[in-house]
Structure 1
Amino acid sequence: MQEQFPEWSGKAIRPLSSAGTVNAIFRIGENLAARFPLRLTDASEALAVLEQEVRASAELARVSRFPVPEPVALGKPGAGYPMPWSVQTWLPGTVAADADPSGSDAFAEGLAAFIATLRDADTRGRLFSGGNRGGVLAHHDDWMATCFEESEGLLDVPRLREVWRHFRELPRTGADVMSHGDLIPGNVLVTGGRLSGVLDTGGFGPADPALDLVSAWHLLRRGPRDVLRQALACDDLEWERGKAWAFEQAMGAAWYYAESNPTMSAMGRRTLDRILDSMD
């Protein structure tokens, strides 16, 4: 830090505990945060990813009605750390994983307003890139098969297989819209029971309009969930597809992080419970 950014050398540096799985976070003074990738990969490839995330984060910051981190700098490998890393602005608030705004209508209204703003942003002709969630549900069959196999003894796999057979057949009708892509409790900030900021914005890009509806299942109970749906005027198909993307994400989180990250695993299981309850 001192070698690359001497202007921050007098600021206190504090590691932050987090249930995140991609970056270790360090707070720099009061207004900045450094993000260090946890997975070692080729440094040049990692830099390309960070540069794309910087562009996406800056674009989202220009359209968001709510505070989001803004890119500040990119750090180079050094001082025993072999990867590039990033610095962004720090946002106050408590992550929803700790604050639990699931019963707040006001939080649901803010979340809907955030999603609506992203949907209104210009895609500039861009389409879903083909990576991760947000394209064709059935393209995730192989991953889901792995999830079902790994979840034996942990979850009600026969029932969950039936649910996926329904979800994977849901047709796609809406054109791509701009989406956050990962609206889980660890990426949303809460103050006073209301949405006060959104983190991890580097995945901002075009995707299925239903993708950001995963937040309805990861973050909200039944009443506030209905508030979000009404605010976004979701029809039955879009709502079901949002449920399907949440299901796909939750299935992976439940078993994959069962030992390494209990918070993420618990989120997955809670989301699955909410989805199954809605289908009874």
Structure 2
Amino acid sequence: MHADEVDIDAELVQRLVAGQFREWAGLTVTEIPSSGTVNAMYRLGDSLTVRLPRVPGGVDDIGKEATWLPRLAPLLPVEIPVPVALGEPADEYPWRWSVNRWIDGDLPVAGTTSTTLGTELGELVREFRKITLPDAPAAYRGGPLSEQDAGTRSALRQLVGWIDVEAAMAGWDAGLAAAPATGSVWLHADLMPSNLLVQGDRLLAVLDFATAGTGDPACDLIPAWNLLTGPARTAFRAAVDVDEDTWIRGRARALSMALIQLPYYRETNPGIAANAQYVIDQVVADVTGAPA
């Protein structure tokens, strides 16, 4: 997926674990199929996972999660992956890596209309906003929406002939025209379907806190367009209880992420590309008034 990506496989993970954590040396290592773009994930035995950065940009996230996940876990209404050990760089692998608890669950499917899931996602976002832990990092993509303008417009130019660029541009411009955030709150900042676990229509867990921190409350509204539709989106909005400007900024943030992802991952990550196309279709339908 990336020019600077390192090679990782199950055999490498087995050697790293055996070399640094002898108590787990005999456990089976199995790759976890994932559309994740920054980290490789492997299951270790029945109750653990191993998380290894693929690219230099993900290296600092390992230490960040080790610091913040234990503090955030008791404040959130669902499970999150708390690290149980940190691996160190080795001759075969250059960066820190983590061992975490395994959490059972299924990935939700984009297009869900479950009002239960919509409400529980909204309640999760509301609980994030209540967090007051000091010295919080800045959330990735959590600053003013205008910071995403150049990248978003560049992606739109690449997608001419592929999507309804005019409608997508209208959705983006509406976000820029909305009143900006008046304060920062704690955010997950990457509530993609691949970072959620469910059982049926109940929310069980939230994964991958590399982007977490404080920023624009609109950042955590993206599930409304990358996962939910119809009654579920309505239930989500009612549960998060945000004003119209924040809602429109949230739609623009979901759109910006999707527009940038689609041309970048179209050939290398079908899962991310498919979800990006879904988001664009949802936002275009919202902007034009067409059926989603």
Q: How far 1:204 sits from its partner (Å)?
A: 2.1
Task: Output one character per residue of 1:218-248: Cα deviation in whole Å (capped at 9) or x when no partner.
Answer: 1101211000111122221111111111111
Alignment partner of 1:63 is 2:75: yes
TM-score by length of structure 1 reads: 0.91
Q: Any unmatched runs of 5+ in structure 1?
A: none
In structure 1, which of residues 153, 159, 167 is the aligned counterpart of residue 175 of structure 2? Answer: 167
What are the within-5 Å matches in structure 2 for residues 11-26 of structure 1? 11-26=27-42
Alignment partner of 1:199 is 2:207: yes
1:68/1:101 Cα in 2 relative to 1: closer, same or farther (>3 Å)?
farther
Aligned match of 1:103? 113
Q: Any unmatched runs of 5+ in structure 2?
A: 1-16
In structure 1, which of residues 216, 231, 249 is the aligned counterpart of residue 239 of structure 2? Answer: 231
Alignment partner of 1:248 is 2:256: yes
Alignment partner of 1:76 is 2:88: yes
What are the within-5 Å matches in structure 2 for residues 238-277 of structure 1? 238-277=246-285
Task: Output one character per residue of 1:63-122: Cα deviation in whole Å (capped at 9) or x when no partner.
Answer: 1110110011111122522222111111100112xx457111111111112111111110
Calculate the aligned-residue CA RMSD, in Å: 1.9
Contact 1:56 1:202 in 2 (8 A): no
Aligned match of 1:91? 103
* Equivalent position amino acid for 2:93 in 1: Y
What are the within-5 Å matches in structure 2 for residues 35-74 of structure 1? 35-40=51-56, 46=59, 48-74=60-86
Aligned match of 2:10? none
State the alpha-carbon separation in 2 of the partners of residues 101 and 166 from structure 1.
Answer: 24
- Equivalent residue of 1:133, what SS? coil
State the alpha-carbon separation in 1 of the partners of residues 111 and 167 from structure 2.
Answer: 29
State the alpha-carbon separation in 1 of the partners of residues 211 and 261 from structure 2.
Answer: 18
In structure 1, which of residues 103, 118, 139 is the aligned counterpart of residue 128 of structure 2? Answer: 118
Task: Output one character per residue of 1:184-211: Cα deviation in whole Å (capped at 9) or x when no partner.
Answer: 0100001022111111023221111111
4+ residue stretches of structure 1 with deviation over 3 A?
none
Contact 1:54 1:202 in 2 (8 A): no
1:159/1:277 Cα in 2 relative to 1: closer, same or farther (>3 Å)?
closer
Q: How far 1:40 sits from its partner (Å)?
A: 4.3
State the alpha-carbon separation in 2 of the partners of residues 162 and 100 from structure 1.
Answer: 23
Alignment partner of 1:8 is 2:24: yes
Alignment partner of 1:186 is 2:194: yes
State the alpha-carbon separation in 2 of the partners of residues 76 and 125 from structure 1.
Answer: 26
State the alpha-carbon separation in 2 of the partners of residues 76 and 215 from structure 1.
Answer: 34
1:70/1:133 Cα in 2 relative to 1: closer, same or farther (>3 Å)?
same
1:40/1:155 Cα in 2 relative to 1: closer, same or farther (>3 Å)?
same
- Equivalent residue of 2:103, what SS? coil
* Equivalent position amino acid for 1:119 in 2: R
State the alpha-carbon separation in 2 of the partners of residues 184 and 109 from structure 1.
Answer: 16
- Equivalent residue of 1:14, what SS? strand
Farther off after superposition, 108-117 or 144-153: 144-153
Among the aligned pairs, what percent are the same residue?
32
Task: Output one character per residue of 1:240-272: Cα deviation in whole Å (capped at 9) or x when no partner.
Answer: 111111111111122211111111111111111
